[in-house]
Amino acid sequence: MRGLALCLALLLSATLPVRAEGEPAAYSIQVRAVPLAEQEDGLATLQQLKDRGYLVYGYRAEIDGSAWLRIAVGAFQSRGAAAEYGLAFSAAEGMEHFVAAAPVLILPGAGERDFVVTPSALWVRGGDSAREVFVFDATAPNESGLPAMVRPTLSPDWSALAFVDRGQVHAAHLNGDRAIPLHDRGSPVVEADAEFPWHIGWSPSSRYVAFLDQPFWEHPIGLWLARADGTELRCLFCAGSYGARWFLWHPTEDRVLFVKASAHGHSQYGGTLISVDPDGAMAPVAAAAVDRRQEFVGPLRIEDGQLHFRLFHYDDSYQKEAETRESLPIDAL
C-alpha cells in the first residue's frame, strides 16, 4: 500500500519554484529516469536510496512527448552545491548523475537545519542526515504544484512548520520524528480559498497556531486555536451567520485580532475589528461606518507600531467607489 500511495504522489506534475530573477529556486541531482510504464523499477531505486538515508523523491516529466518518472536526490539552493554533492554521491553509490532544477521548496529552519518540501513528502534535514516526517496526500495539488501542501508557514523561531493536508492542519518540528495533527480530520475542515487567500498564524512565541475553518467566503468561517504540540484545540469564534475573515496575533500573544463580518456575500457594509483572548473572551475595538457604506478589508499587518488595514467605500448600488489605507496604534488595541 505504501508503494502504491507513493507511486500516485509521484505521478503528479510538479511546478518548479523560481527566484525573482527567473532562476530556479532549488537544484537536485537526477540519478535515474524510466518510462512511466516501467515506474515500478524506478520506484524500487527510490526506495533503496531512501533506505540508505538519502533525501530522494520522484516526479513526472515529459521527455520527447512521452511521460517519464525521474528519480532525484538532495535539494540545494545553488547549482554549484548540487554539483559538489553529486560528485560525492556518484563516488559512494556508483551511479551516474546530472544537476537539474528541482520541483522542491527549501525552508530554512533553526540551528542549520531546514525543511524540504518535495512533490510527495516533507523532510527535515540537518548536517548529513535527512528524515521524512510526512507523506502528502496524492489527490490535491495546490497552485504551487506540490501535492496538498497548502501554504506552508514557518514558526517565528524557525523550529516548526505548519501546513494543511486534506483539510487538516499539521505541525512538523525540527526535533520531531513525525508531523503532528492539530485537530481531527474533518472537524474542523480547513481548506485554501483561491480568491481570499489566508495563511496559518503562528503566535509570536511559536507555542500556538491559529487558523480558519472552512475559509470559503459564502459560508460561516470559524477562527480556531491549538497548541503546536497538538493539544488544547478550541474555537475562538464560531458564530453562525457571522464569520472571521482576516486575523493577526497581537504582539503580546494574549489575544488575536480579527475582522468579524457577514458570512454571506463577497462584500458587506460594516464589519468589526474584534480582539479575542485564548479563552474566547471578545471585545470590539473598531468598526467600519455602515452609514457611510464602509467595509473592513485585510490583510492585517503590523508595522511601525501600527495595525494596518484597508477600508472599501461603496455607492448606493453596492459598487466600490474607493479604497483607503488605514491604521490604528497597536498598543491601543
- Look at residue 296 in the predicted model and tell me its pLDDT: 84
Higher pLDDT, 233 or 260: 233
Q: Which of 134, 116, 115 is nearest to 180 (CA)?
A: 134
pLDDT digits (tens, 9 = 90+) for 178-193: 999 999 877 787 765 5
* Cis preceding-peptide flag for 188 (omega within 30 of 0): yes
pLDDT digits (tens, 9 = 90+) for 41-62: 999 999 999 999 999 998 888 8
Please, what is the angle between helix 39-51 and helix 2-10, to 10°?
Answer: 110
pLDDT at 9 over 60: no
Rounded mean pLDDT, 303-325: 88
pLDDT at 196 over 80: no
CATH superfamily to which 149-333 belongs: TolB, C-terminal domain (2.120.10.30)
Rounded mean pLDDT, 101-122: 90
- The DSSP-derived string for 119-182 is SSEEEEEETTEEEEEEE--SS-B-TTSSBT-EEEEE-TTSSEEEEEETTEEEEEETT-SS-EES
Q: Are the beta carbons of 60 and 10 closer than 8 angstroms?
A: yes
pLDDT digits (tens, 9 = 90+) for 243-256: 888 899 999 999 99
